[in-house]
Amino acid sequence: MQLNKAMNRQFIIVGLILFLTLPSAMAQKERIEYLPNFDKRKIHFGYYLGINNNSFEINYHDQSGLDPNSPVNPTPEQDMFLETDASLGFNIGFVIDYRLHNNINLRFEPGLMSNAKTLTFYDANLDAAPNGIPIYGSSTDNPVREVAGTYLHLPLLLKFSTNRLNNIRPYIIGGVSYDYNFSSNEKNGKDNFESEFRMTAHNFMYEVGFGVDFYMYFFKFTPSIRGIFAMNNELVEDTNPIDYPQYSSPWTGPVDFLGTRGIFLNLTFE
């Protein structure tokens, strides 16, 4: 968890450095304006490479005991049932840019993104033993799941740019995306009772970010930072034990919502 927070701080620091150095760069008087007609094109193409630090936002069911539909009623209440430790992943893809206006572009950026996460579960029902017999047996001896994800990332974005100043042009960007999770295990008949963590294969995200276009001699170079946020619940719940339906799964029972939250650092070449 601490590593994940440190990585997020590194992304933020890079963004601050980028924009703190921007004013001095813009103040420089460029004698040569590179690619003067680049932005007059109706459509152009490019590609991007990048890294990501994708984790999860996790919300839990009501724990007060007042909600009869909540499967969780620990005593005392727990603040956390699931801890996520995310590692750095990579992004790669193409850019198709369509100019709508002098300062507005529609962008389609299909690509792949990959990362890995380690999930550690803590649950009040782990020791459930009606009649003195543990209902989960040895299946809870290993509360850790390694979750590797490879996604087809299909974002449709609007890019709002300032007017160009010499060879620099800042912008903000935002939009929605469809993500297909190749490693979801959604159709897997096994669940956490057989040590299989399952997620939905089809997901929808929204993303926002900022960046700067740097016009070089032969191409346009664009570093950018973006945040990505899941709109749907990506968790596939476990099947509760048939003989004891009042006890929820110790892995997925407490979780009401689990969705991707992450930061990208992309380097784009157009």
Of 29, 25, 147, the residue nearest 82 (C-alpha): 147
Q: What percentage of the chain exceeds 70 in pLDDT?
A: 77
| pLDDT value at residue 248 | 72
Q: Which residues of the chain have pLDDT under 50?
A: 1-3, 20, 26-27, 30
For residue 211, give Cα distances in angstroms to 161, 169, 170, 260.
9, 9, 6, 22
pTM of the full structure: 0.81
| pLDDT value at residue 3 | 45
* 3-class secondary structure, 188: coil
CB 199 within 8 A of CB 181: yes
Of 125, 129, 116, 117, the residue nearest 61 (C-alpha): 125
CA distance 192 to 85: 18
156 Cα distance to chain centroid? 16
Considering the chain, what is the average pLDDT of its residues?
Answer: 84
| pLDDT value at residue 216 | 95
